[in-house]
Structure 1
Amino acid sequence: MATEEVNNPPSLPSYPQLIINAIEALNDKNGSNKTSISKYIESKYGDLPAGHSTLLSHHLNIMKESGELVFWKNNYMKADPNAPPRRGRGRPPKPKVPLPPGMVLSSARPRGRPPKDPNAPLRSPKPSGSGKPRGRPRKMARPEGGIAASSTTMMSASVRPRGRPPKVKTSAFTEVSVGH
């Protein structure tokens, strides 16, 4: 901060003092925004350093974090020691009960499924009481000829083929004779 004070002209007070003076002079009940603070400082002290806006932003952030200023709805105001702290949006957090001394919290369980024990005995996935294998049964292979092949061809002749039947083509002669 000493280097920032060197950049100020000798007639200028420190930036935190400039900011406090500006907020007091503007005297707005809702506080003053950064633009109005900057304009007040420029009007009162015409001779400002080149990086005035960055210096102002930097010092406003420092004063906000230290508690000298309160930032509410994009406005800065002096912190009132008697005022209760302002709450943000949402439900306030539950108060934490302090632990008695000497008590240590156990670490939380890690996320995810625990790893399998490599020394555990192998288990069968299903008891072998039913005797049937799991899943869909395999297709039976078709025999290549013989009695079974001739019976399948006879059987397939009486069974309709897959899909939509083909459209029956009619000749022009039948259409004319049907029309009369």
Structure 2
Amino acid sequence: MATEEVNKPPSLPPYPEMILKALEALNEQNGSNKSSISKYIESTYGDLLAGHSALLSYHLNIMKESGELVFWKNNYMKRDPDAPPRRGRGRPPKPKDHLAPSSASTVLAPTTRSRGRPPKDPTAPPKPSKAKVSSGTGKPRGRPRKMARPTGGLDGAAVTAGTTTSPSGKPRGRPPKLKASLTEVSVQQ
């Protein structure tokens, strides 16, 4: 910003002052947009710097953030001290309650919680062990284990047909097609 003031001709006032004069002179009800402010400044103060539009944008943003100007619907206007602040879109932020330093010493400091499961307390007494409760049926819980495949061939025909047999003795899958055997019919005369 120091280089801006060195290169500035002595006849130009500071940019914030030029912006405020432009807003007063234009006196639009809903404020003035950046291009109308720029055109007014160019027409009033003929000799401007090469980076006029960049400087204007910079100073408008600074004045908007400091609260001198209000930016609403792409227009800049002077802040009215009696008007309530305009609410933006979305949910308003929660108010931040900070403890005073004097009350912080009397109340325990809030602990910050980390993500995930908290670590076990080493000073806590051990929990009593749970006794296993049986269901009374004598069967173990859950899915039964797979039976081992029999290694000896139960049925030679099933193996040759490409099907395997289950422990119950029935072959698994679709039964093979039976081929009709041809028999000779003898004719007696």
TM-score with structure 1 setting the length: 0.69
**Matching residue's letter, 1:140:** M
**CA apart distance, 1:78:** 0.8
- Return the alpha-carbon distance in structure 2 between the equivalents of residues 110 and 134 of structure 1: 38
Q: How far, CA to CA, are the matches of 1:122 and 1:13 in structure 2?
A: 79
Aligned to 2:63: 63
- In the alignment, structure 1 residue 161 sits paired with structure 2 residue 171: yes
Moved more, 98-107 or 4-13: 98-107
Q: 1:53 to 1:168 in 2, by over 3 A?
A: farther
In the alignment, the residues of structure 2 paired with residue 85 and residue 58 of structure 1 have an alpha-carbon distance, to the nearest angstrom, of: 23
* Consecutive unaligned residues in structure 1, runs of 5 or more: 171-180
Give me the whole-angstrom Cα distance separating, in 1, the residues matched to 2:4 and 2:42: 18
User: What is the CA deviation profile of residues 18-72 of structure 1, one whole-angstrom value per residue up to 9, with x for unaligned ones?
Assistant: 1111111111011111111111111222211111111111111111111111111
- 1: CA distance between counterparts of 2:128 and 2:179? 66
- Give the drift of 1:74: 1.3
Counterpart residue identity of residue 132, structure 2 = S
Aligned counterparts of 2:122 and 2:100: Cα–Cα separation in 1:
40
Cα deviations across residues 151-175 of structure 1 (Å, max 9, x unaligned)? x549x599653334456789xxxxx
Q: Where do 1:21-36 residues align within 5 Å?
A: 21-36=21-36
Report the equivalent of 1:137: 144
Counterpart code for 2:43: S
Q: Distance in 2 between matches of 1:118 and 1:99?
A: 31
Mapped to 2, the partners of 1:129 and 1:79 lie a distance apart of: 75
Q: Output the aligned Cα RMSD.
A: 3.6
> Counterpart amino acid of 1:82?
D
C-alpha change, 1:119 and 1:159, in structure 2 (3 Å) is same
Alpha-carbon distance in 1 for matches of 2:57, 2:141 = 71
**Inter-partner Cα distance in structure 1 for 2:37 and 2:60:** 10
Q: Structure 1 CA distance, aligned partners of 2:179 and 2:155?
A: 28
Name the counterpart of 1:10. 10
SS at match of 1:77: strand
More helix by share: 1
Counterpart in 1 of 2:110? Answer: 106
What letter matches 1:85 in structure 2? P
